[in-house]
């Protein structure tokens, strides 16, 4: 991936889809939907994915293609062209990537844990009990160890520049993963709870939305589509010129949303089966799924395959995050090697990992209401900072590229709809995005202050 002429067999989609697809879809989406009351939130999410996430995603890709740089140098380059200064705004996505990588590594470590558990169970030397997740959460040392292993694997891939080989490999695994997911959806939705689940997920009861729901939906849209991290700018700079960026954006948003729905169909029937109350914390998926595999015929092998595939997706997303940081450091500090940049960022991320990893043990008393530290970190990053950072990034590409340049990058003469979509895209980035993001933020703040979250 070091080269700016990226030529894999899978082309560019694979990179962007691969980065978007990750723990956000199967792990985070179900619990955020649970937290925000189901159907009405799901609708809000779909609406915002199309009207907010996708337009900003396209803009980030355009910035990368136009400058052939990662976000910080890209901002510098267009600052020179347009006489504006975007230094601070362009550093924020990179900081965001670093901090998110650290807590993403803890969750990826949870996935590793279940790979080990299922392997051990398969060979008969242990049993996965219902308290498996609970005991992991209490074991800070183990979580830190697993997160370190994950970071090390990510680091080796990025520093050695072997993404190319790995991407192909993961590319072969993903259809298999899709197959597992379809079987799981089928098994899960044939439980007796399906009617309740469908009602919960698709009947839009707007009274269940809270003052924070808009902000939560915005944060998750950005997280799951990898918007606001500069990742798509980096990937946009690697992409071949013959790819039409708005089409890439549309496909990424489309595939990502489909997979997220898969996550809902798998997790919620199990949640409803386990209890009548919708549980809404980050351990949700890891609480219900292993138990389900345990009770299923041939479930241990199935569970192992599922967690291995999920890990590959998490690894791919983590590679995207680390690659963003490394490409920015290398582009900014000319002369620094990728391996030095990689080790520096890997070690910093590892240090930051301590907080979320010790959330259930050393920091178990650090709580705000129902929320433990890991949830607070997630909320602060994804609901608090990410929308603002993404807005700053949209400001860079919107102000930095002239209307003519935007038009040239957006319109494909052979795609007639791109002519009519262009003004809508401009409207979405220039007006809609700042208004909803700031509105979401203010409502959320108001909710926090009045206790209506
Ligand atoms: N989009 C990824 C997910 O849903 C997370 C991610 C964010 C990956 C930013 C790369 C960059 O899991």
Q: What is the pLDDT of residues 19-35, one digit of tens each?
A: 888 999 989 999 899 98
- Out of 19, 263, 318, mutate this one to test ligand 1's pocket (max ligand atoms within 8 Å of CB): namely 19
- At residue 423, the 3 state secondary structure works out as helix
Cβ atoms of residues 269 and 188 within 8 Å: yes
pLDDT tier for residue 3 given thresholds of 50, 70 and 90: very low
CA distance 341 to 347: 10
Q: Say what the pTM is.
A: 0.92
Phi, psi angles (nearest 5°) of residue 116: -65, -45
pLDDT tier for residue 13 given thresholds of 50, 70 and 90: low
- Out of 1, 111, 320, mutate this one to test ligand 1's pocket (max ligand atoms within 8 Å of CB): namely 320
Q: Annotate 221-240 with three-state secondary structure.
A: HHHHCCCCCCHHHHHHHHCC
**From the CA of 400, how far away is ligand 1's center (Å)?**
25
pLDDT digits (tens, 9 = 90+) for 257-299: 999 999 899 888 888 877 766 666 788 888 888 888 888 787 8
**From the CA of 208, how far away is ligand 1's center (Å)?**
27
Q: Which of 173, 169, 201 is nearest to 265 (CA)?
A: 201
CA distance 325 to 274: 41
pLDDT at 261: 93
- At residue 371, the 3 state secondary structure works out as strand
pLDDT tier for residue 305 given thresholds of 50, 70 and 90: confident
Dig out the tokens for 38 from the structure.
């189901």
pLDDT score of 121 more than 50 = yes
Q: Highest mean pLDDT: which of 40-49, 130-139, 152-161, 325-334?
A: 40-49
Pocket of ligand 1 (CB under 6 A): 19-20, 22-25, 223-224, 226, 229, 231, 317, 320-321
Choose between 281 and 346: higher pLDDT. 346
**From the CA of 394, how far away is ligand 1's center (Å)?**
18
pLDDT at 10: 45
pLDDT score of 42 more than 70 = yes
pLDDT digits (tens, 9 = 90+) for 61-108: 999 999 988 899 888 888 876 767 788 889 999 999 999 999 999 999
pLDDT at 271: 82
Dig out the tokens for 376 from the structure.
């607070």
Instruction: Give me the helices (H) in 275-337, please.
Output: 284-295, 299-332
Dig out the tokens for 341 from the structure.
């940049």
User: Given the CA of residue 314, which atom of ligand 1 is nearest to it?
Assistant: 12
Choose between 238 and 113: higher pLDDT. 113
pLDDT digits (tens, 9 = 90+) for 412-443: 888 878 888 999 999 999 999 999 999 999 99
pLDDT at 6: 44
Cβ atoms of residues 296 and 288 within 8 Å: no
């Amino acid at each position: 991936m070091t080269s700016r002429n990226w030529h894999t067999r899978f082309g560019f989609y694979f990179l962007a889809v691969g980065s978007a697809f990750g723990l956000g879809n199967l792990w985070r989406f179900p619990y955020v939907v649970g937290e925000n009351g189901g159907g009405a939130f799901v609708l809000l999410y779909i609406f915002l994915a199309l009207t907010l996430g996708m337009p900003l995603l396209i803009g980030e890709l355009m910035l990368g293609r136009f400058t052939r740089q990662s976000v910080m140098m890209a901002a510098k380059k267009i600052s020179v062209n347009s006489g504006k200064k975007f230094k601070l705004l362009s550093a924020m996505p990179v900081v965001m990537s670093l901090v998110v990588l650290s807590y993403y590594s803890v969750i990826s470590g949870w996935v590793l844990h279940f790979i080990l558990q299922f392997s051990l169970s398969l060979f008969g030397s242990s049993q996965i009990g219902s308290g498996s997740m609970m005991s992991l959460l209490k074991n800070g040392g183990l979580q830190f160890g697993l997160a370190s292993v994950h970071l090390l694997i990510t680091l080796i891939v990025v520093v050695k520049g072997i993404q190319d080989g790995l991407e192909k490999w993961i590319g072969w695994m993903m259809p298999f993963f899709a197959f597992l997911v379809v079987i799981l959806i089928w098994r899960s939705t044939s439980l007796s709870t399906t009617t309740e689940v469908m009602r919960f997920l698709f009947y839009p009861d707007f009274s269940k939305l809270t003052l924070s729901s808009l902000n939560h939906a915005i944060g998750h849209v950005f997280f799951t589509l990898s918007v606001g991290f500069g990742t798509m700018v980096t990937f946009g700079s690697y992409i071949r010129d013959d790819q039409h960026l708005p089409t890439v954006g549309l496909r990424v948003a489309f595939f990502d949303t489909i997979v997220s729905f898969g996550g809902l169909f798998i997790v919620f029937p199990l949640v409803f089966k386990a209890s009548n109350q919708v549980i809404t914390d980050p351990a949700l998926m890891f609480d219900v799924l292993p138990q389900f595999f345990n009770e299923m015929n041939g479930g241990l092998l199935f569970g192992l395959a599922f967690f291995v595939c999920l890990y590959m997706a998490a690894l791919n997303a983590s590679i995207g995050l680390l690659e963003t940081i490394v490409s920015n450091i290398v582009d900014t500090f000319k002369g620094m090697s990728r391996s030095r940049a990689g080790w520096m960022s890997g070690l910093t991320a590892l240090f930051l990992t301590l907080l979320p990893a010790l959330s259930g043990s050393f920091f178990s008393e650090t709580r705000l209401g129902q929320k433990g530290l890991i949830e607070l970190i997630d909320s602060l990053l994804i609901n608090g900072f990410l929308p603002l950072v993404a807005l700053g990034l949209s400001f860079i590409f919107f102000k930095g590229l002239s209307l003519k340049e935007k038009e040239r990058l957006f319109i494909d003469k052979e795609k007639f709809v791109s002519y009519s979509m262009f003004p809508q895209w401009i409207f979405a980035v220039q007006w809609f995005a700042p208004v909803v993001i700031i509105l979401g933020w203010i409502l959320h703040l108001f909710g926090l202050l009045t206790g209506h979250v």
